[in-house]
């Protein structure tokens, strides 16, 4: 192998058994924009014994620092491909490999498309070409990338000793880069960077290669996922509903990704505090009486150590087994800093989700959409369950303690987030069933709280928004469908629904559900 690397060269390595496809692939490579003082090379490996053998041959024949391994039926349509890849590699020397489509969490089966994927490509489908976007946020760190295009800045041998066919070479190389301590990234793409014409795939050796992959890497996959950071502190609020709280805590025992639970009892007089003490839970009890949610949430954040991820939840909400992990995954995509699950608080297809079975069926609809968007930007976070990175407090401050109702505390917090270009998202594959115990049913002070909150909001954060509307262009009003709940909530405080929805469009773009 050449050890004197040319740091200003990209080498494109193609395993070829079809001359027409290969010529077309090279045509697109030759029309890329090449940065000044840089050069490119193309290595065509004809009739290789396997993908790993062909790629090893190409890697050893080139002294380019940067190598692009791609299928002969992949056509790079982003003419700034080289510049864009370099920008990613230069951000962090630990980024070892870039792909166009990848799996944030590789399933234990090893089958990439059985779990959520991210990225984008143009794909040929018999009679037309379709734009396939698997997530609308980026960039994203992933565990494995699809092998139709893989870009590296370090040379690691392909596992020719294990994989002697044409499957699982990509997942294997992804695991090898992880073993070596490198990161694997999917870039943020406003439009796909390449077209893949690979409709027909031979699968006669697939299962045998999968078994090899699992024998070599499955234990590592489990260990890696365990240490991948998806552990959260759950802050569970409750008031005078001991039985509901006990039921919720029992349910949470089966939810993955929860490191510890801190119970916040808002001054209950039904023996909840005594029961919590007897069970050994970390808890806060306000013996001075009920408090507003701004103070509840701040008290925990200011007085307890938490994990990097924090999930806020109300007793009486029942998340699915992997929903906490999926929320945390959504906070690793793009620039989202707050995420909420899909719940029966949302209508679906203009219908009401009436029970947990209906909610599970809706989730399956999202899971079964091969290219459906799994995430959507939002301005309305359901206060019953939502997740953040702890660092959000450093960026956006603590909650406003003059506000009482949880939805108003989050409304104020959302407006402050928008000022800082901080994004909220709904993760449609994280589901939680809400028993709809609303504040006015639990707190006798709710009516007073509502009026006091309204006065605070109108005199403070809401007052400056009309000026913002006057400064912004009133176009793209097709956003009427966006965040109607949030818009109606704003309208209570002196902002028209039209202006509130326009604000949503201007500051975050359309939401997809």
pLDDT per position as a tens digit, 400-433:
999 888 888 888 888 788 777 788 888 877 888 8
CA distance 350 to 316: 25
| pLDDT at residue 55, as a whole number | 97
Say how many C-beta atoms besides its own lie within 10 A of residue 249's C-beta: 18
Please give the mean pLDDT across all residues of the chain: 79
Higher-pLDDT residue of 379 and 388 is 388
- pLDDT grade, residue 110 (50/70/90)? confident
Residue 27 has pLDDT above 80, yes or no: yes
Residue 448 has pLDDT above 90, yes or no: no
Q: Average pLDDT in the 337-349 region?
A: 75
Computed on alpha carbons and rounded to an integer, the radius of gyration of the chain in Å comes to: 26
Residue 508 has pLDDT above 60, yes or no: no
Among 42-56, 98-112, 374-388, 420-434, which stretch is predicted with the lowest mean pLDDT? 374-388
CA distance 150 to 119: 13
Full-model pTM: 0.56
CA distance 407 to 419: 19
- Work out the end-to-end distance of the chain between its first and last CA atoms, rounded to an integer number of angstroms: 50
Higher-pLDDT residue of 109 and 424 is 424
List, for residues 187-220, the tens digit of each pLDDT value.
Answer: 988 889 999 886 555 567 788 888 888 888 877 7
| pLDDT at residue 2, as a whole number | 43
The residue written with tokens 């505090």 in the block is: 273
DSSP state of 440: H
| pLDDT at residue 363, as a whole number | 65
Q: Average pLDDT in the 256-276 region?
A: 86
Alpha carbons within 13 A on the beta-carbon side of 219:
2
- pLDDT grade, residue 132 (50/70/90)? low
| Residue 408: closest CA among 463, 456, 347 | 456
């Amino acid at each position: 192998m050449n050890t004197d690397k040319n740091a200003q060269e990209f080498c494109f390595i193609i395993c070829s058994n079809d001359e027409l496809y290969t010529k077309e692939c090279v045509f697109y490579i030759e029309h890329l924009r090449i940065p000044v003082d840089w050069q490119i090379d193309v290595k065509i490996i004809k009739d290789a014994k396997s993908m790993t053998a062909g790629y090893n041959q190409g890697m050893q024949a080139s002294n380019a620092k940067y190598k692009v391994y791609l299928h002969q039926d992949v056509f790079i349509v982003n003419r700034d491909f080289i510049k864009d890849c370099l920008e990613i590699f230069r951000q962090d020397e630990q980024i070892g490999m870039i792909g166009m489509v990848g799996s944030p969490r590789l399933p234990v089966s090893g089958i990439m498309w059985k779990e959520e994927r991210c990225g984008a490509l143009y794909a040929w489908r018999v009679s037309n070409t379709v734009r396939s976007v698997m997530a609308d946020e980026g960039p994203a760190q992933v565990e494995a990338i699809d092998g139709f295009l893989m870009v590296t800045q370090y040379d690691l041998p392909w596992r020719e000793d294990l994989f002697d066919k044409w499957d699982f070479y990509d997942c294997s190389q992804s695991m090898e880069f992880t073993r070596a301590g490198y990161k694997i990234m999917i870039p943020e793409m406003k439009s796909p960077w390449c077209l893949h014409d690979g409709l027909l795939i031979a699968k006669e050796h697939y299962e045998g290669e999968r078994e090899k992959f699992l024998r070599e890497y499955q234990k590592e996959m489990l260990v890696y996922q365990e240490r991948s950071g998806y552990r959260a502190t759950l802050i569970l609020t409750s008031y005078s509903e001991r039985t509901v709280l006990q039921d919720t805590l029992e349910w949470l025992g089966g939810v993955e990704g929860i490191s510890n639970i801190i119970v916040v009892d808002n001054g209950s007089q039904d023996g909840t505090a005594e029961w919590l003490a007897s069970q050994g839970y970390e808890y806060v009890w306000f013996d001075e009486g009920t408090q507003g949610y701004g103070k509840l949430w701040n008290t925990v954040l200011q007085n307890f150590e938490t994990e990097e991820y924090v999930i806020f939840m109300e007793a009486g909400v029942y998340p699915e087994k992997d929903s906490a992990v999926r929320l945390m995954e959504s906070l690793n995509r793009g620039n989202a800093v707050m995420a909420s699950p899909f719940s029966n608080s949302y209508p679906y297809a203009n219908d009401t989700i009436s029970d947990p079975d209906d909610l599970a069926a809706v989730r399956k609809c999202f899971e079964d959409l091969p290219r459906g968007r799994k995430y959507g930007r939002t301005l309305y976070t359901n206060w019953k369950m939502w997740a953040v990175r702890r660092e959000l407090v450093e960026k956006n401050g603590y909650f406003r303690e003059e506000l009482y109702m949880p939805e108003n505390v989050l409304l104020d917090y959302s407006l402050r987030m928008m000022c800082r270009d901080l994004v909220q998202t709904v993760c449609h594959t994280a589901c939680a069933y809400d028993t709809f115990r609303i504040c006015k049913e639990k707190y006798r002070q709710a009516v007073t709280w509502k009026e006091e909150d309204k006065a605070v909001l109108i005199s403070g954060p809401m007052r400056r928004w009309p000026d913002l509307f006057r400064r912004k262009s009133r176009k793209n009003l097709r956003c009427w469908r966006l965040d109607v709940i949030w818009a109606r909530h704003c309208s209570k405080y002196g902002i028209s629904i039209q202006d509130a929805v326009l604000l949503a469009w201007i500051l975050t773009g359309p939401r997809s559900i």
